Amino acid sequence: MSKNIVLGSGYYNSTGFPLDYKCLHSHPFDEISLVIRGDIRYISDNIIDRIEGRSIIFSRAYQLHNPYVAQNKPYERYQISFMHSSLSEEIITHADADSFILPLKDKDFEELLGYMKAINNDHSGIGTDELTSVKQKFLLNALYAKIMSIYLSAEHTPGKITKSYINNVM
């Protein structure tokens, strides 16, 4: 029996975000958000950063994180969630990362947008046949490989959160 590789997907376009999360959270699945426009302060258990405009957010399963979206500015994004175990061993072996947010160059943005739209459209039908499962796995692995390529070559360095910072907050 086949299974859906992508657990959830969605598209959002409005001002701000209807759920103004006020605290860090985690979940048992990985999450990728492709921000088309917006002003975001992203905090995870290892980084803190602010990026405006086209960006990619990767939130690793079980890592504390929260994207704080400016409530008075336009915000548009695609998002998918998936189990890390759905990824190919070869891709995980060569590229893997903790949670991060990165600004995107136009060329990278367009490629990622194509993957996100394809995954979102494929998932909207909630197909369960074998072809849908194979297609989702292929698209997810291609998307993840591209994101890791961008991550590994990134020139952007977010602020690191140290244990002393966490201890001071606590």
Q: How many domains does the chain have?
A: 1
Spell out, as residue ranges, where the chain has pLDDT lower than 70.
1-3, 19-22, 122-131, 161-170
Q: Phi first, then psi: what are they for 59, rounded to 5°?
A: -115, 115
Burial letters for 111-147: b for 16+ Cβ neighbours within 10 Å, e otherwise? Answer: ebeebbebbbebbeeeeeeeebbebbbebbbbbbbbb
CA–CA distances in Å: residue 143 to residues 98, 113, 119, 147: 16, 9, 9, 6
Tell me the two tokens of residue 36. Answer: 């088309």
Q: Which domain holds residue 63?
A: 6-169
Q: Confirm whether 40 is domain-assigned.
A: yes
pLDDT at 2: 47
Distance CA 115, CA 78 (A): 10
Alpha helices in the chain (DSSP H): 89-94, 106-124, 130-152, 163-169
Q: What is the CATH number of the domain that holds 30?
A: 2.60.120.280
pLDDT at 57: 95
pLDDT at 123: 59
One DSSP character per residue, 37-60 reads: E-EEEEEESSEEEEEESSEEEEE-
Among 148, 86, 145, 142, which Cα is nearest to 118's?
142
pLDDT at 58: 95
pLDDT at 20: 59
Query: Whole-prediction pTM value?
Result: 0.86
pLDDT at 26: 92
Q: Tokens 């959270």 label which residue? A: 25
54 burial level (CB within 10 Å; 0-12, 13-18, 19+): buried
Q: What Rg value do the Cα atoms of the chain yield, rounded?
A: 16
Q: What is the pLDDT of residues 105-154, one digit of tens each?
A: 999 999 999 999 999 886 555 555 666 888 889 999 999 999 999 999 98
Q: Confirm whether 1 is domain-assigned.
A: no
Give the number of other CB atoms < 10 A from CB of residue 167. Answer: 8
